[in-house]
Chain A
């Protein structure tokens, strides 16, 4: 199973490092990253495998959200089924 982590906010040094470090801490394996900066606005979508997650998925969602709040970013972590259901027939 996979989850999608989206990170948005004002661009600063080290965003990817912090998010990746958190993924490593909770054993979420990163399989894809797509990232861009537009007018100092940072946007990243990260796909991670959550089968071997060290904590319960809902706790992982909370921890990532907190990480965002601590760094002035908005981080959403959602199960990939949501996007597949909505955008693929």
Chain B
């Protein structure tokens, strides 16, 4: 029987604490569209994507109405284009990006992910051509997201790819300089990338996935923050327990929506990603959860411990709530998308070095961080190499999404708008790692990858 308190709690989570389903992402394999002819490949992928996901937006809206829970985004992820379009030239890849953008427009979705490559151990000719096409592709499209996996715990770090990404990110920043270098917000460099992540900009449809699949990303930093506030002055065991219970309830919503979407769209249910994904809206911040635990400001000493507790408890609570948990699952710490992080950076409490330490225990990495526009490419490569090493050594996903905002200096602001938010430009250590990066080759896999 329904309990009045339970009913009111659910409604309060949605109305007062920003509980939402952040995204229903349909993964679509493009492996059956392969062609060495760019025109033919583009025709085939456009037809397949627009047919498979034809009802995605309408279905998402119907489920939103039926269950009364907001479903913020409906998105599509596809097979890494460097794999499906391996025979194409850089120009061909740009044409593919424009086709993906057109398909996204037709479907009415806000992002399409998968314009990427997996190069952790080395490059194919297609990989190189795709990487060369990224700046032009992201500058000439609005909804296409790109990700490049440059390392894994099993393969080590492809430092040649790291070296290339510095220049690619700078080029993206320059080509979108009139819009605060927003091109870089659509490009992520990964280590140990998950193949079923529904969140952008890193979503793609892995090669081990079925022809199409429904993955759902839930969110709810505001719900967790409120639960911690209500609990008041409790010890850490109780605190972890409160977070687990809350994560459980949030994830159950995701599971319900995922099953219903899977049924209606006739695509198998893949996973629920139980990430705490902040937005710039008031009451939707991961930093405020950490501050609610007792830190004066996010970035204070103790922040890494607080985040480790949060990330672990979220996973533990969510795992039992869903039959299949996957993706990134944990706490995101993007700067520009989190009002509390923005405040902490603006007041000098949160530095990029502290953010790097936090990424060792959060679910992703250095995310949506604006850096000075004149940052040399080799310094960006150094940031990537450091962050990727944390992921490789700790057998976890890490990623870098930095925006060297063209013409902006440390302390200036950049404005991306919408869910991408705004960010103060962060100060960097500009000592040069150029000679280190220029060595090239691969950093070998760490020893604990040889367990099997």
Contact = CB atoms under 8 A, between A and B. Distances in A.
Interface in A38-79: 43, 45, 47, 57-58, 61, 76-79
B66 A79 contact: yes
Contact of A83 (B10, B62, B65, B255): B10
A17 interface: no
Given A47-B2, A80-B2, A86-B252, A58 B66 contact: yes
Contacts of B9: 87
A80 B67 CA distance: 8
Overall SS of chain B's interface = helix
B66 A85 contact: no
B68 interface: yes
Contacts of B234: none
B388 interface: no
Contacts of B255: 85
A23 interface: no
A82 interface: yes
A6 interface: yes
Contacts of A83: 2, 6-7, 10
A32 B7 CA distance: 14
B410 interface: no
A7 to B, nearest CB: 11
A77 B255 CA distance: 20
Contacts of A76: 11, 68
Contacts of B447: none
A87 B11 CA distance: 12
B4 interface: yes
Output the residue of B7, B11, B62, B252 with the most chain A CB within 10 A. B7
A87 B66 contact: no
Interface in B65-96: 65-69
Nearest to B66: A79
B3 interface: yes
B419 interface: no
A81 interface: yes
A28 interface: no
Interface of B: 2-4, 6-11, 62, 65-69, 249, 252-253, 255-256
15 contacts: A34-B4, A47-B2, A58-B65, A61-B66, A78-B10, A78-B67, A79-B68, A82-B68, A83-B2, A83-B6, A83-B7, A85-B255, A86-B6, A86-B249, A87-B9
